[in-house]
Structure formats: structure tokens, C-alpha cells
Chains A and B, each alone.
Chain A
Amino acid sequence: MNLLLFSLFREKKRRRIEELNENMVVDGGNGDRSDWQGRWDHVNKFLERAGPFTHPDFEPSTESLQFLLDTCKILVIGAGGLGCELLLFALSGFRHIHVVDMDTIDISNLNRQFLFRPKDVGRPKAEVAADFVNDRVLGCNVVPHFKKIQDLDETFYKQFHIVVCGLDSVVARRWMNGMLLSLLIYEDGVLDPSSIIPLIDGGTEGFKGNARVILPGMTACIDCTLELYPPQINFPMCTIASMPRLPEHCVEYVRMLLWPKEKPFGDGVALDGDNPKHIQWVYQKSLDRAAEFSITGVTYRLTQGVVKRIIPAVASTNAVIAAACATEVFKIATSAYVPLNNYLVFNDVDGLYTYTFEAERKENCSACSQMPQDLQFLPSAKLQEVLDYLTENASLQMKSPAITTTLDGKNKTLYLQTVASIEERTRPNLSKTLKELGLVDGQELAVADVTTPQTVLFKLNFIS
């Protein structure tokens, strides 16, 4: 029985290769697009035929393909492990694609970011990815942007029908989430659906991954489910400074304490995880540290892993999650099927496991609920406590919030970290009480942070 299946399979494969080779000859059939006959057959079956499981709004038509080919504009954020795989959906007919990535190619990327070759090391990922796809997929036009997502503004983001993310940081995801939320238009409190740009977000870590569909303003956003993200592991300073036990503690000691003290490569030269000389120095010093405490296990690889905060990446997980995301892009762009509603989890540590569920919106989400966020503090509480709350609270998890407010009709910065001179000037405010700073019950505080492109408004409530 199995022999029969195998021979059928082989026969089918042989036939299809013949078919493709025959039809590779350019024929003018589709205007000047140089599409060979049957190029879009697979896709057309989903666009031109009715079926029992399609989206309720779906209508079969020959024009859907034209929309994909000519009009639909997709933005891919990230051209790394997920991004490279995501760009594959260019094969389904999407031709107007932009890709944003601020990174250059490292040799360690080559085992899974398959659009890159050894000769590309050092070049911007977005540009090499775009070149590769444009060469490989006839008619496709990928436009690269070698930039941070924060360097582009709303006029840029507004032009896209769908945004797909293959990011490696929660902060970046939240920013993107916030940007799309800021594009929503409300008329008399009612959301204008044409202002919604769907966000499809994929993430992987080793053998685990997830894919989710976000309709900003309608379904759960990134911040609604912030608690789902595992906390970063940071070792306590006292362990690093005086009581190391693990090889990782030794490396962190060198990175955080020794490097700033000894400045081995010059004043103001920051530790660069991609510079082998830097890593070699850290490695040697970590060995010394470890020897002091009889700790074994410090290796070059471990050193680099700790410095760069490397989480092992597996090519197959990226393939699977990107595939799931790309399927959603297709579904949403064509309305062929009901999109994922709205969160898929994948894990292949033991067998193959997926779990699909609907993540719920948080009623008072700081990003998408449009509800003013409440803060409860004693009037005698210090500003430092407010700062701590903003960074430590699980639903907020801000990184370096800047707090401003209106006092006596004038805008006043209470505390700002990101500009050294202002930080110095406002630092004394941290040890003042809220009352001393002139804040009253019901005071509105505007907080800006790298996790969101828009300021978040908080209402201060005094408790007694």
C-alpha cells in the first residue's frame, strides 16, 4: 500500500516539474506582466470559486487577483528570521511590499535567514532581502527601508493595507501597536472601519512561537495581553557584585561593572557584542572572575550569549510561524476565509502542539481602551514611587517614562530620563512628594515612553 502511495507521489511530482518547465516560456497572455500560464492557478482557486467555508463577505471574482497584484500594499516589519520567511508570501501574488529593518547581516544569521548569503554579511538586511525577492519573484516590487520603525511617521504607515511584524522585542511591538492605534479615526465616538489597518504579529523563541491577528480598536491589542510576555531575566546586582554562583553572573559582572571601570578600548567605547575583540576581552575577564570563586562553565559561546542576550533561534519554528502569519495576510487581503480569531500558540518540544484562542480586550488597556488611566497615590508619596509604578506594573512595563503636567497653566516637566541635562535638572523632583510638587487630586499627568508613539494620559487620585 505504501509503495503505491509513494509511486503516485513521485509521479505527480515529475509531472508538475515537466509542466512548469514547459510553461516557463514567457507568453504575452497577461498583458505585459510576463506571467506564465497557470502562474496564479493555485491562488485563483481560492479567489474565483465559491465554497462552504468562506468568509460571509466573500464573493468569488476574477478581480480579487488583480487587487492582490496591482493594489494591495503590505508592510513587513523585520527582515530577520521571521521577516525572510514572511516575504515568501510574495509568491501568493502580493507585489507591493515594503520591508523595514534597522539591522545589518551577521554571519550567525545565515543558518535560517535564507535570503542572505555569506557575501551579504555587513549589508543592511532590508536591502538584501528586497534584492533577493525582486530577483527571484518576477514582477514583485519590494521596497527596503534601512531604518528604525520609530524613524518613520504616520504618513508612511497610513499607506498600507496590512502590517505584518516579525520583531524580536516587546518594546518595538508595543510601539507599532501604538502607531496603528493612533491612525484610527473616530467620528462621534464611533470607529471608522476604513481607518483600521490589521496588524499580524508573529514571535518565536526556540521551539515555541505564536501568531496573532490584531484589528486595532476592535480586538485585543499587544498591550491588552502584556502579561503574557515572560519577564526578562535580570540578575540582582548583589549577586553579580559580590556573590556570583553561575558562569552567567561572572560575565554580567564584567559587562556591567568591569567594562565601564576599565574602558579597555577607550573612553566612551561601548561594549559591542558583535566585535570579537570585545567579546574576547570579556571572556578572559570572566574566566578570571570565575576562577576567583571556583565557578566552572565560562566559555566563549556562553560569554557572547550573555552579552548579546542571545535566545537560541530555530529555523523551523520561524518557518511555521511565518507561514501561519502569511496565511492570515492572504485571508485578510482577499476575505477568502475568516481570519484567525485571534491568537495561535505553537510548541514542538514534545510532538507538535498548537493552541488557538481568542485573546480578550482589556477594559482599561493603556494603549487601546481610550480610557484615562488611574493612578492612586498618597499625597505624601514621592514622585519616585510614581516612576517605579510606571516601570514595574505588569500592565504598563514602561522603560524610561517622561512625566509632564500642567501647573499654573504652564507645561511642566516633572521628570525626564532620556536627555542628560533635563534628567539632571528634574532629578531632585523624584524625592519630593506629590503635594510638594504642587499636584492636586485629579491632576492629569502626560507620560511619554519608548513603548508608545503617543503620550499616555493618567489621572492622579489622592488616597488618604
Chain B
Amino acid sequence: IDNYDFCHNRAALSSGTERLTCNSITLLKCHFGLSVSFTTVVESHPDNALEDLRLDQPFTELKHHVESYDLDNMEKKDHSHTPWIIVVAKYLEKWYSEHNSQLPKNYKEKEAFRQLIREGNVIHHIPRILTNENGTPEDEENFEEAIKNVNTALNPTKVPSATEDIFNAEQCENITSQSPSFWVIAHGVRDFVRNEGNGKLPVRGTIPDMIADSDKFIKLQNVYRDKAMKDAAVVSKHVEALLQSVGKPPESTSEQEIKLFCKNAAFLRVVRCRSLAEEYSVDTFNKDEITSCMDSTDSEMVLYLMLRSVDRFYQQHSRYPGVYNYQVEEDINKLKLCVNSLLQEYSLNVNVKDDYIHEFCRYGAAEPHTVAAFLGGSAAQEAIKIITHQFVPFNNTFLYNAMSQTSATFQL
């Protein structure tokens, strides 16, 4: 069984300008590189995303909805099942009136705001304090949620820098009939932000689950959902106009695409990779990255240099070092010459320890299948990311060391 093939086949390679190369899978270390000109990601699925609640600048429909609540005159049951978003919104109004309409900004102010909520939960003409078995007062759970979320709920709504970069990119600015829909929609969203959005992205439309009765929760959720749909419709109009201006029919981008884009507007990513030519050329290779990594001589960077040297060895000798037992000793010197010539050609003043040269001769181009499998699995998923435009691909050289079970990604 050719282990390498077996694992390699699991990586579905796409054609065209995008190339995921699994180079030199040999020995107990391996590396592969990505040379895609760029790949756009709409659904990056970030692990820890902040919610888009607009509490700092509530849109009209949200304001109306909050107004419909009168916390001071509610039945206890309703009071303890009011969504924390409403609670925070109400107390924020109070805070604004006493603080010149300024958001709580630092820890001290946020703590004071939390205290405001705590006191508000206690001082009501109708006693609403829950007491636990020992008689000590407890906040209602929804108020506790409100207090817990103060930290993140009051962050000013703004366009994340990664999204700003996309808006300012050349491909976004200059839309032509050839532009991929990613850039067309991005331009549309940018138009929205600069006009109807007042500097803000279309509302995302989702809220986290929270303690509330079904009715209140669904109504609140619908306020956000409806606004998101409204905003997406406006973006659609911009996109339509844009498509028209470059002579394309409005059906070129679907409603679904636009909605998905708007929902993920805060998480858009573009990954630009350098080409293999740039990586290899003496004029454009990333000298700084290599040199600074090699400050620690056991950095995974040394493996990269060794792999490049081994390639050089192959070019010169039409075989890999140390394949047969009798070759191991003499190839050490030959490989060392390759290493030195590589360092010299690229004017790299770094130290590659002899141990690594010995080790690579020892390997004799062996391809342990467990190492190939690790690489194959990783590469396969990267290919899928690029094809599906979901999740963020690596950029652009990944090195895996199975001896220490460590890895590193370098941008070369």
C-alpha cells in the first residue's frame, strides 16, 4: 500500500489558481503549504463570537419594544421572566440620564452599572426579592443574567477591523462583471454601512437563549429577526443596483446568499497567501520570519530548512539521503553541503544543528504512515475549507514534528 497516496487521496484538490501542495512528506516530520492567491470566507464560524445586541444604540423597533415594558408595575412572575436584554436596556436609560448619555466604559463604571441593577432588583414598592432557604436575599435569575452579561452587552457596536479591511480592499472598490459574488455583496453591505446603517453593519438577527417565558423571548427574538430581514433587504437593493451598473442580471446573487452574508458580516475573512514563487525567490522570500524563528535553534523552522535542503540533495544526487544503510554516514556530509549552499544562496545567517542533518539522513526518506495520516487529515480539511468557503484556512506553511508532537504555522 502506498501510504502517501492513500492519505493524499483524501485531500480533494481544486483546480485553477488555488493549489494546496503536500510537499515532501518524509520522515517523522512533514510539511505542507498553501499557495492560494486568496480565499474568501463568509462563514468562518468563530469559536467565541460576541452577540450583536445593539444595546448601545438601539434601533427604533428595539426602542419601542423596550418601552412596552414597565418593570415597576409588573407581576412578580412577569418580572422574573423578563429577558435580561430588556433589563439592561431599561437600566441603561436610567444610567444615561445620570451620566450624560455616556456608556459605562471601564471596569469601575461597569461595576457601578451592575450595582444599579442589583439595587433596582431590591428596591421596589412591591417586594420582589427572592430569598433562599437560609433567608438571604437572592437576585432573580434573569437579573443575575443581566448582571453577568453587562461586561459584553455594553460594548460599542462597530464594524470589526477585518471587515473594514474587506470594505477597503481593491476588489471591493472596483466591481466589474467578473467580480465574484463575495465582493459584489461586500460592496453592497459597505454601501449600507455608509448610508442606512449609519456606520453599522446589518443587524445579525440572533439572540442567545436566556431566562424568560416563551412569549417574551419569542417577541424579543422577532424584533431582532425582523430588523435583520429589513436590513438584508436594503442590502439587496444596493446589490441589485450594483449588478445592474455592470450589466449583470439581479438574479446573479440569490437572496439566500445575501442573507447569509449579512448574518456573518462581522466574521468575514479573506486569507491572502503568497505564491510558491514568492516563497522560493531569493528576492521575495520571507527572510525575517526565517531568521527570527531560528533564534531558537529547535524551532520547527529548522525542519523547513532541512526539507528544502533534502530537496536540493535530491536534485543533485537523484535520490534521497540515507535510503540504504551504507549511505547514512557518507550522506551526512553531502547533506550538510546542501544545507550550507541553501543558507548561502539565501544569505541566511542561521545555525542548523548537525543533529538535524544526521537525523534526516537516518530517515532515508521513510514515510511512516501515521505521520502521513496526520498530514493527510489536516490537508484534506484545509482543502474542504477552501472549496466550501467555510472556516478559515491556514496561511501558508504548516510544519508537524511527530517526535515532539508539536507544530507551527509560518507565513513564508
C-beta contact mask, A1-35 vs B, less than 8 Å → 1, else 0? 11001101100010011001000000000000000
C-beta contact mask, A262-304 vs B, less than 8 Å → 1, else 0? 0000000000000000000000000000000111000000000
Question: In the bound complex, do residue A49 and residue B370 qualify as a contact, i.e. CB atoms below 8 Å apart?
Answer: no
Interface: A426 (CB within 8 A): no
Q: Which residues of A contact B384 (CB under 8 A)?
A: 316
Q: Which residue of A lies closest to B371 (CB)?
A: A327
Q: Which residues of B contact A261 (CB under 8 A)?
A: none
Question: In the bound complex, do residue B369 and residue A295 qualify as a contact, i.e. CB atoms below 8 Å apart?
Answer: no
With A and B bound together, what is the CA distance between A290 and B401 in angstroms? 51
Question: In the bound complex, do residue B409 and residue A324 qualify as a contact, i.e. CB atoms below 8 Å apart?
Answer: no
Question: In the bound complex, do residue B377 and residue A319 qualify as a contact, i.e. CB atoms below 8 Å apart?
Answer: yes
| B-binding segment of A38-46, A142-150, A363-371 | A38-46
Question: In the bound complex, do residue A88 and residue B214 qualify as a contact, i.e. CB atoms below 8 Å apart?
Answer: no
Q: Which residues of B contact A328 (CB under 8 A)?
A: 405
A246-B209, A349-B391 given; A51·B371 CB < 8 A: no
Interface: A129 (CB within 8 A): no
Question: In the bound complex, do residue A294 and residue B218 qualify as a contact, i.e. CB atoms below 8 Å apart?
Answer: yes
With A and B bound together, what is the CA distance between A320 and B45 in angstroms? 21
Contact of B377 among A17, A49, A316, A327 (CB under 8 A): A316
Question: In the bound complex, do residue B358 and residue A52 qualify as a contact, i.e. CB atoms below 8 Å apart?
Answer: yes
Question: In the bound complex, do residue B214 and residue A244 qualify as a contact, i.e. CB atoms below 8 Å apart?
Answer: yes
A1-B280, A244-B214, A245-B217 given; A316·B380 CB < 8 A: yes
Interface: A350 (CB within 8 A): yes
CB contact list, A40-98 vs B, under 8 A: 41-43, 45-46, 48-53, 85, 88-89, 91-92
A11 to chain B, nearest CB (A): 10
With A and B bound together, what is the CA distance between A272 and B366 in angstroms? 48
CB contact list, B376-403 vs A, under 8 A: 376-378, 380-382, 384, 391-395, 398, 400, 402-403
A20-B2, A49-B362 given; A351·B394 CB < 8 A: yes
A92-B370, A349-B391 given; A51·B381 CB < 8 A: no
Question: In the bound complex, do residue A52 and residue B366 qualify as a contact, i.e. CB atoms below 8 Å apart?
Answer: no
Interface: B328 (CB within 8 A): yes
Question: In the bound complex, do residue A45 and residue B407 qualify as a contact, i.e. CB atoms below 8 Å apart?
Answer: no
Q: Which residues of A contact B355 (CB under 8 A)?
A: 52-53
Question: In the bound complex, do residue B218 and residue A295 qualify as a contact, i.e. CB atoms below 8 Å apart?
Answer: yes
With A and B bound together, what is the CA distance between A6 and B384 in angstroms? 22
Interface: B406 (CB within 8 A): yes
A46-B368, A344-B405 given; A245·B374 CB < 8 A: no
C-beta contact mask, B353-375 vs A, less than 8 Å → 1, else 0? 00100110011101111110110
C-beta contact mask, A342-355 vs B, less than 8 Å → 1, else 0? 00100011111110
| A-binding segment of B3-11, B61-69, B169-177 | B3-11
Interface-centre pick from B46, B210, B374, B382 (highest chain A CB count, 10 A): B374
Q: Which residue of A lies closest to B404 (CB)?
A: A356
B30 to chain A, nearest CB (A): 11
Question: In the bound complex, do residue B314 and residue A8 qualify as a contact, i.e. CB atoms below 8 Å apart?
Answer: yes
With A and B bound together, what is the CA distance between A340 and B359 in angstroms? 19
B238 to chain A, nearest CB (A): 28
With A and B bound together, what is the CA distance between A43 and B325 in angstroms? 13
Question: In the bound complex, do residue B362 and residue A45 qualify as a contact, i.e. CB atoms below 8 Å apart?
Answer: yes
Number of A residues, CB within 8 Å of B: 62
Contact of A352 among B364, B376, B382 (CB under 8 A): B382
Q: Which residues of B contact A337 (CB under 8 A)?
A: 28, 403
C-beta contact mask, B167-203 vs A, less than 8 Å → 1, else 0? 0000000000000000000000000000000000000
Question: In the bound complex, do residue B214 and residue A49 qualify as a contact, i.e. CB atoms below 8 Å apart?
Answer: no
Interface majority SS (helix, strand, loop, mixed), chain A: helix
Contact of A51 among B221, B358, B392 (CB under 8 A): B358
A286 to chain B, nearest CB (A): 14
With A and B bound together, what is the CA distance between A203 and B127 in angstroms? 50
A241 to chain B, nearest CB (A): 12
B51 to chain A, nearest CB (A): 15
Q: Which residues of B contact A5 (CB under 8 A)?
A: 21, 23, 276, 311
Contact of A349 among B10, B47, B367 (CB under 8 A): B47
B94 to chain A, nearest CB (A): 27
CB contact list, A201-260 vs B, under 8 A: 207, 211, 239, 243-246
A5-B311, A8-B314 given; A92·B369 CB < 8 A: yes
Q: Which residue of A lies closest to B373 (CB)?
A: A323
With A and B bound together, what is the CA distance between A8 and B23 in angstroms? 10
B283 to chain A, nearest CB (A): 13
Question: In the bound complex, do residue B23 and residue A51 qualify as a contact, i.e. CB atoms below 8 Å apart?
Answer: no
Interface: B263 (CB within 8 A): no
CB contact list, A307-339 vs B, under 8 A: 314-320, 322-324, 326-328, 330, 337-338
Q: Which residue of B lies closest to A326 (CB)?
A: B370
Interface: B1 (CB within 8 A): yes
A9-B23, A316-B381, A351-B392 given; A327·B214 CB < 8 A: no
Interface: B50 (CB within 8 A): no
Question: In the bound complex, do residue B378 and residue A351 qualify as a contact, i.e. CB atoms below 8 Å apart?
Answer: no
With A and B bound together, what is the CA distance between A16 and B1 in angstroms? 10
B348 to chain A, nearest CB (A): 17
With A and B bound together, what is the CA distance between A202 and B368 in angstroms? 19
With A and B bound together, what is the CA distance between A307 and B125 in angstroms? 45
Question: In the bound complex, do residue B370 and residue A314 qualify as a contact, i.e. CB atoms below 8 Å apart?
Answer: no
With A and B bound together, what is the CA distance between A2 and B221 in angstroms? 53
Q: Which residues of A contact B28 (CB under 8 A)?
A: 46, 337
Q: Which residues of A contact B406 (CB under 8 A)?
A: 354, 356
A5-B23, A326-B370 given; A352·B378 CB < 8 A: yes
B222 to chain A, nearest CB (A): 9
Question: In the bound complex, do residue B44 and residue A351 qualify as a contact, i.e. CB atoms below 8 Å apart?
Answer: no
With A and B bound together, what is the CA distance between A393 and B352 in angstroms? 51
Question: In the bound complex, do residue B359 and residue A53 qualify as a contact, i.e. CB atoms below 8 Å apart?
Answer: yes
B13 to chain A, nearest CB (A): 12
With A and B bound together, what is the CA distance between A352 and B407 in angstroms? 9
C-beta contact mask, B232-258 vs A, less than 8 Å → 1, else 0? 000000000000000000000000000
Question: In the bound complex, do residue A89 and residue B23 qualify as a contact, i.e. CB atoms below 8 Å apart?
Answer: no
Question: In the bound complex, do residue A45 and residue B366 qualify as a contact, i.e. CB atoms below 8 Å apart?
Answer: yes
With A and B bound together, what is the CA distance between A42 and B367 in angstroms? 6
Question: In the bound complex, do residue A243 and residue B359 qualify as a contact, i.e. CB atoms below 8 Å apart?
Answer: no
CB contact list, B325-360 vs A, under 8 A: 325, 328, 355, 358-359
With A and B bound together, what is the CA distance between A255 and B224 in angstroms? 30
Interface: B204 (CB within 8 A): no
Q: Which residues of B contact A8 (CB under 8 A)?
A: 311, 314-315
A350 to chain B, nearest CB (A): 4
A53-B403, A245-B209, A352-B378 given; A293·B373 CB < 8 A: no
Question: In the bound complex, do residue A327 and residue B374 qualify as a contact, i.e. CB atoms below 8 Å apart?
Answer: yes
Question: In the bound complex, do residue A88 and residue B370 qualify as a contact, i.e. CB atoms below 8 Å apart?
Answer: yes
Contact of B368 among A51, A92, A293 (CB under 8 A): A92
A52-B359, A53-B355 given; A350·B46 CB < 8 A: yes
With A and B bound together, what is the CA distance between A85 and B6 in angstroms? 12
Question: In the bound complex, do residue A330 and residue B2 qualify as a contact, i.e. CB atoms below 8 Å apart?
Answer: no
Q: Which residue of B lies closest to A2 (CB)?
A: B276
Question: In the bound complex, do residue A320 and residue B374 qualify as a contact, i.e. CB atoms below 8 Å apart?
Answer: yes
Q: Which residues of B contact A13 (CB under 8 A)?
A: 2, 4-5
Q: Which residues of A contact B378 (CB under 8 A)?
A: 316, 320, 348, 352
Contact of B405 among A46, A53, A314, A324 (CB under 8 A): A324
Interface-centre pick from B277, B380, B381 (highest chain A CB count, 10 A): B381
Question: In the bound complex, do residue B214 and residue A91 qualify as a contact, i.e. CB atoms below 8 Å apart?
Answer: no
Q: Which residues of A contact B322 (CB under 8 A)?
A: 45
Q: List 11 A-B contacts (CB under 8 A).
A: A1-B281, A5-B23, A45-B322, A48-B325, A51-B362, A53-B355, A246-B209, A315-B10, A320-B377, A340-B405, A352-B409
- Contacts A1-B276, A316-B10, A319-B10 given; 8 further ones with Cβ under 8 A? A41-B366, A46-B28, A52-B359, A91-B369, A211-B405, A316-B380, A349-B45, A352-B398
Q: Nearest 10 A-B pairs (CB), nearest first?
A: A319-B377, A323-B374, A316-B381, A323-B373, A52-B355, A351-B394, A2-B276, A320-B377, A293-B214, A42-B366
